[in-house]
Structures are given as structure tokens and as C-alpha cells.
Structure 1
Amino acid sequence: MYIIVVYDVDVKRVAKVHRFLRTHLHWRQNSVFEGEVSRAQLYEIKRTLEGLIGDGDSVLIYELPTGNFTLHVIGTDKNPAGEII
């Protein structure tokens, strides 16, 4: 499955969340990651993020069917995904 992860966490935890997500997904732009994952990888991502975030933090994970969406970029593509999408 393809996922998009968007997060808004306290500045004290931003680097940890960013570093972790970078090991599993493609960084798109500030606080946004995306990529193809298995069910097991999604479970690990969710479980680890639950341990990294604190009170008041927010993480959104969108699950998308593989290949069934179109990306439209308006303005500058900060980190093009190339052939991933």
C-alpha cells in the first residue's frame, strides 16, 4: 500500500520523528513523507511513532491504493520523488 504521513510535533521531537520516517519513506517536504509499505511496515511505523510523540503532537497517516491516485504539484517540488509515484 502507499501511505502519506503528515506530522505536527513539538520542536523537541521533530528531528527524531524526521530521522525515523526517513528510514522507511521518501521525504516530500516539511513534515510530509510518502512511500510504498507492507502491512508489517505500516504497523512498525505506527507503533514507533506512538512512542516518539508526546502530548499535543499529531501524526496523520493516509493509506492510498497503489497506483490509484495522481499527484499535482503547484509551485516548487521541494524533493521530487521521481518514479516512485
Structure 2
Amino acid sequence: MFVILVYDVNQKRVGKVLKKCRQFLNWVQNSVFEGEISRSNYYRLKRELLALIHEEEDSVIFYTFRSLSYSKREIIGLEKGGETNFL
């Protein structure tokens, strides 16, 4: 599945949430990630983020897509982030 993840968390937790998201998805720009992810890793990421955030003051939104066949990505202005592949 393809996922777009956006978050708005307290500054105290931003580093931990950023690090966790980078383990599973590609950083696009401030607080935005995207990428292909297996269903099991999707649930794992959700579970691990729930352990990091405070639900009373933080927000994480997942947009999930079965396929990107009918979608288009268009960037206006500076392209931030990008795909980073680590070996």
C-alpha cells in the first residue's frame, strides 16, 4: 500500500517521531512522509507512533492508497526531502 503521513507533535517529541517515520517511509518535507509500506509494517508504525505521542496534544494523520495508478504528484517551488536509500 502507499501511505502519506503528516504529523503535528509537541516540539519535545518531534525528533523521536521523525526518526521513527524515517525507518518506514521517505521524508518529503517538514512533517510529511510518503512511500510504499507493507500492511504489517503499517500497523507496526502506527503502534510505535502511538507509544511516542501524547494523544491529548499530538496529531498524526495517515492517508492510505491501494494503488497510485490514478494519482499524480506535482511540486511547485522548492522540492524538499526526497528519497534516501541506506544500505
1:70 equivalent to 2:72? Answer: yes
1:9 corresponds to:
9
3-state SS of 1:77 partner = coil
User: Which one is further off, 65-74 or 53-62?
Assistant: 65-74
3-state SS of 1:75 partner = coil
1:60 corresponds to:
61
Q: CA deviation at 1:74?
A: 1.0
Unpaired segments of 5 or more residues in structure 2?
none
Aligned CA RMSD, in angstroms, stands at 1.4
TM-score with structure 2 setting the length:
0.88
1:65 alignment partner AA = R
Unpaired segments of 5 or more residues in structure 1?
none
Alignment of 1:29-40 (within 5 A): 29-40=29-40
Query: Could you tell me how far apart the structure 2 residues matched to 1:79 and 1:14 are?
Result: 16
Q: CA deviation at 1:18?
A: 0.1
User: Which structure has greater helix proportion?
Assistant: 1
How many residues are treated as equivalent by the alignment? 82
TM-score with structure 1 setting the length:
0.90
2:47 corresponds to:
47
Q: CA deviation at 1:37?
A: 0.6
Q: CA deviation at 1:79?
A: 2.1
Identity of aligned residues (%): 46
User: Which one is further off, 54-63 or 72-81?
Assistant: 72-81
